[in-house]
A and B are shown apart, each in its own frame.
Chain A
Amino acid sequence: MSLDIDSLTVEYHTFAAKVKAVDRVSLSVNEGETIGLVGESGCGKSTLGLSILRLVPPPGKISSGKIILNGIDVVNCPESEIRRARGKLVGYIFQDPMTSLNPVKKIGTHFVEMIRTHEPKVTREEALKRGQDVLEQLGILPERIDDFPHQFSGGMRQRVMIGLALALNPSLVIADEPTTSLDVIVEAQIVEILKHLKESLKLTLILITHNIGIVAETADRVAVMYAGRMVELAETRELFDQPLHPYTQALLNSVPNITRKYQVLSWIPGAPPDLTSPPSGCLFHPRCPFAFDVCRREEPTLIKHKNSEVACHLYG
């Protein structure tokens, strides 16, 4: 498994303006590691995830940059080639388990379609059997494969989604907010499942989330995104010990920690920029407590600082 994203830009073309949802983002994913992709809503983290499989919905378009997935040029390859990769090479756990399953098809049919699309020689019975095996691993009784999605609770539907993403043994799994609409205890169940799968199947995982706690617990490296730009990329421990970018610092300080008795929360003043007319220089400067002249004029690029990478004029 190898994934290299190089200077990727994804634009949404609207009546008002061209919006750069992802702006010159580069990222290399190593085999077997878990990358946490964090940021506020609208920072482009889901768009980045979708573009890895060329699934960005119109009016979104990959306008420049390269994505090389196991030797496949995702941006320019023919549709048939990328279709073979979807599900087989890369499993995708979509954001909302309530709406991502087809309500008029049985859970089993989802598995049959998925498996037979990629492996036409497999019979329906074999595909169902494989679906049952996957579900059993995730703690769902095999006979429930004949049920419809509405007969499942939210947590179980999310497990079905995970099962579908894993059905063809992909080497890379992208999980887009896998726990967002779930209750705390169910969330913990899903996180434990992901952690277990990561170890037992040696999965490479890209975890897109705004939940800092889940990232702290599961990720090996964390990429922080702000307004379409990657502002910091570091090992998880390093990032939590010594966050470099002022945005990362502020983000970590705004999250309450129940294990601490006394904690002062801080926050980031203002709101993320309107990307139809982004500010000059560093996109974060209007909200940044350390902003100085250069920040208003020049856009910082991602540079190496100690073991991390950061895009900020304070360093370098």
Chain B
Amino acid sequence: MENILTVTNLTKYFPVEKGFLDRLLTSQKRYVHAVDDVSFSMNRGDILGLVGESGSGKSTTGRLCLKMIEPTSGKIVVDGVDLSGLCGDELKRFRRNMQLIFQDPTASLCPRIRVGDAVRHALSFQGIGTPSEQVERTREMLERVGLKPWGNFYDRYPHQLSGGQRQRVGIARALVSNPKFVVADEPIAMVDVSVRAQILELMIELKKEFHLTYIFVTHDLAMANYICTTIAIMYLGKIVEIGPKEKVFGSPLHPYTLALMSSIPIPDPKAKIDRIIPKGEIPSPINPPKGCRFHPRCPFSKAACSEKQPELVDAGEGHFVSCFSSRE
């Protein structure tokens, strides 16, 4: 298996802007601990699901892997190339290997650019091929994502397309430069229910055809279960559980994973629902709790949980979990 992405000790703190009075009175800088010491690696062909609630740092992790934002510390190696060493033209050229599919296809397409041109710009920006080759490639790509015949779509504006079609344009734009590695940031959250399965299926087909590797950022566990091969559960900037899908969802170990799984409404009126709902809501990432970050809400927390931060420990078959209680 060929390694395509390795992330080690990745950390991102965003400084908090202070008001005028605060700046006079306190000298201490405060930070949002968006991503805190996260490590994982992916092989070619994997689909890694980054799952968590809002504020868990899953989108930030996705964006860090593409160097859209600069990490505070840590190392990201994509296809053997250390991203921290890249800048300027080199980075720009390297970006054709890694692309992003955005959450909201309406906001991420310029309303005044025809969708065909939006896709073609990805090529002209990278300087791939001559203009006529670029148009040819764009047409192929539009048809490939299901917008056929291309003649009906190339010259349309985004507002003339439906939500599902717009997301297809977003996918075409990300894949037209033939990337190896794609981060999809909640690609189906804004599309209608009946269209979601269709977009997922398209992404799976394209993955096989172009030998892609996906990071799939989502809060929808059922969708992650459907598409991903590996699952990483994030909470307050930390990965609390990671492993093959069958292990993480089949025999979840971390109390937070259990809570998430029991929270999902199941589309079957006969299903028995036995919920473990943690109290309250995700705390502020500015002052994350000491020790295990989940301990104030955890139904199984012990004294040790509030003192020491649990490390990710091997639970067998590539399944890792960071929890003191799960080992008993």
List of B residues within 8 angstroms of A256 by Cβ: 197, 222-223, 225-226
- Least Cβ distance of A213 to chain B in Å? 3
Given contacts A187-B263, A240-B269, A256-B225, 16 further A-B contacts (CB under 8 A): A153-B281, A184-B53, A184-B221, A184-B264, A186-B281, A188-B262, A192-B275, A212-B193, A216-B266, A216-B271, A217-B265, A236-B269, A254-B196, A263-B226, A265-B200, A267-B194
- Chain A residues closer than 8 Å to B194, beta-carbon distance: 40, 250-251, 254, 267-268
Contacts of B195 in A (CB 8 A): 267-268, 271
Binding site for B on A (CB under 8 A): 40-41, 153, 155-156, 183-189, 191-192, 210-214, 216-217, 236-237, 240, 250-252, 254-259, 263, 265-269, 271
- Distance in angstroms between the alpha carbons of A309 and B278 in the assembled complex: 40
Inter-chain contact A257/B164, CB cutoff 8 Å: no
Contacts of B271 in A (CB 8 A): 216-217, 259
Chain A residue contacts of B165, Cβ below 8 A: 271
Q: Which residues of A contact B164 (CB under 8 A)?
A: 271
Given the complex, which residues of B lie within 8 Å of A236, measured CB to CB?
269
Listed by A's residue number, 7 A-B pairs whose Cβ atoms lie within 8 Å are A213-B265, A216-B265, A254-B196, A257-B266, A257-B268, A259-B271, A263-B226
Pick from B192, B261, B277: contact of A192, CB below 8 A: B277
CA distance A258 to B261 in the complex (A): 8
Question: Which residue of chain A has the shortest Cβ distance to B259 in the bound complex?
Answer: A185
* Choice from A41, A185, A250 contacting B277 with Cβ under 8 Å: A185
Q: Which residues of B have CB within 8 Å of A214?
A: 265
Which chain B residues have a beta carbon within 8 Å of chain A's beta carbons?
Answer: 53-54, 162, 164-165, 192-198, 200-201, 219, 221-223, 225-226, 249, 259-271, 273, 275, 277-278, 281-282
Residues in chain B near residue A153, CB distance under 8 A: 281
Nearest CB in chain A to that of B221: its residue:
A258
Q: Which residues does chain A contribute within 8 Å of B196, judged by CB atoms? A: 254, 267
Among the listed A155, A192, A237, A265, which residue makes an inter-chain contact with B197, where contact means beta carbons less than 8 Å apart?
A265
By the criterion CB–CB under 8 Å, are B53 and A213 in contact?
no
Of the candidates A185, A255, A266, which one forms a contact with B263 in the assembled complex, judged by CB atoms under 8 Å apart? A185
Most buried by A among B193, B198, B264: B193
Query: Could you say which residues of chain B place their CB within 8 Å of the CB of A184?
Result: 53, 219, 221, 260, 263-264
Residues of A close to B222: CB separation below 8 A: 255-258
B193 close to A255 (CB less than 8 A): yes
Residue of A whose beta carbon sits closest to that of B284: A153
Tell me which of A192, A210, A217 contacts B193 (CB under 8 A): A210
